[in-house]
Amino acid sequence: MPRARRANLSSKKGNGGRGSLRQELLQLKVSDKLNQLKGSRPGARADSEASEDEAASEILSHCSSASETVSLAEEGSGSDVLDNQAQQDQREDKLREDIDNLMDKSIKTRQVALSNLRLALSSHTLGDFLMERRVTFTDALERCLKKGKEEEQSLAATVLSLLCIQLGSGPEGEEVFRCLKPLLISILTDSSAGVSARQSCAASLGLCCYIAAADVEDLINSVCCLEGIISSYNSDCGTANTALHSLLCCAIQSWALLLTVCPASRIQKILESHLPRLPGMLSSENVNLRIAAGECLALLYELARDLDEDFFYEDTDALCVTLKKLATDSNKYRAKTDRRKQRSIFRDVLHYVESGEFQEETIKFGLEVMYVDSWTRRRTYSSFKEALGSGIRFHLQYNEVLRDIFSLGSPLVLDAAAIKASKISRVEKHMFNSAAFKARTKARNRVRDKRADVL
Q: What pLDDT, on a 0 to 100 scale, did the predictor assign at position 423?
A: 63
Identify whether the C-beta of residue 288 lies closer than 8 Å to the C-beta of residue 249: yes
Residues 282 and 294 in one domain: yes
Q: What pLDDT, on a 0 to 100 scale, did the predictor assign at position 87?
A: 79
Tell me the three state secondary structure of residue 310: coil
362 - beta bridge partners? 371
Residues 93 and 210 in one domain: yes
Out of 359, 379, 401, a domain closes at 359
Residues 302 and 394 in one domain: no
Q: Which residue ranges in the chain fall short of pLDDT 50?
A: 1-22, 30, 34, 37-38, 40-77, 235-239, 452-455
Q: Is residue 311 part of a domain?
A: yes
CA 35 from centre of chain: 68
Q: Is residue 205 part of a domain?
A: yes
| pTM for this model (two decimals) | 0.74
Q: What pLDDT, on a 0 to 100 scale, did the predictor assign at position 432?
A: 78
Q: Is residue 230 part of a domain?
A: no
Q: Is residue 125 part of a domain?
A: yes
Q: Is residue 43 part of a domain?
A: no
Query: What string of H, E and C letters represents the secondary structure of 105-171?
Result: CCHHHHHHHHHHHHHHHHHCCCHHHHHHCHHHHHHHHHHHHHHCCHHHHHHHHHHHHHHHHHHCCCH
Residues 325 and 389 in one domain: no
Q: Given phi > 0 = left and psi -120 to 50 = alpha, else beta, which region is 370?
A: beta
Residue 135 CB: number of other CB atoms within 10 A? 12
Distance CA 398, CA 400 (A): 6
Q: What pLDDT, on a 0 to 100 scale, did the predictor assign at position 80?
A: 55
Q: Given phi > 0 = left and psi -120 to 50 = alpha, else beta, which region is 320?
A: alpha
Q: What pLDDT, on a 0 to 100 scale, did the predictor assign at position 435?
A: 85
Distance CA 380, CA 393 (A): 14
Residues 103 and 203 in one domain: yes
Residue 227 CB: number of other CB atoms within 10 A? 17
Dihedral angle sign, alpha carbons of residues 411, 416, 422, 423: positive
Q: What pLDDT, on a 0 to 100 scale, did the predictor assign at position 52?
A: 47
Residues 109 and 191 in one domain: yes
Q: What pLDDT, on a 0 to 100 scale, did the predictor assign at position 5?
A: 38
Out of 338, 359, 380, a domain closes at 359
Q: What pLDDT, on a 0 to 100 scale, did the predictor assign at position 384?
A: 97
Burial class of residue 193 (count of CB atoms within 10 Å of its CB; 0-12, 13-18, 19+): middle
Q: What pLDDT, on a 0 to 100 scale, did the predictor assign at position 386?
A: 95
Distance CA 370, CA 196 (A): 32
Q: Is residue 289 part of a domain?
A: yes
Tell me the three state secondary structure of residue 450: coil
Out of 320, 336, 359, a domain closes at 359
Give the Å distances, CA to CA, from 398 to 314, 393, 455. 46, 9, 51
Residues 383 and 434 in one domain: no
Q: Which of 353, 247, 341 is nearest to 299 (CA)?
A: 353
Torsion angle (degrees, nearest 10) of CA 112, 113, 114, 116: 90
Strand ranges (DSSP E) for 291-398?
361-365, 368-372
Residues 107 and 193 in one domain: yes
Residues 367 and 351 in one domain: no
Residues 354 and 365 in one domain: no
Number of domains within the chain: 5
Residues 113 and 182 in one domain: yes
Residues 299 and 349 in one domain: yes
Domain of residue 155 covers 89-214
Identify whether the C-beta of residue 286 lies closer than 8 Å to the C-beta of residue 249: yes
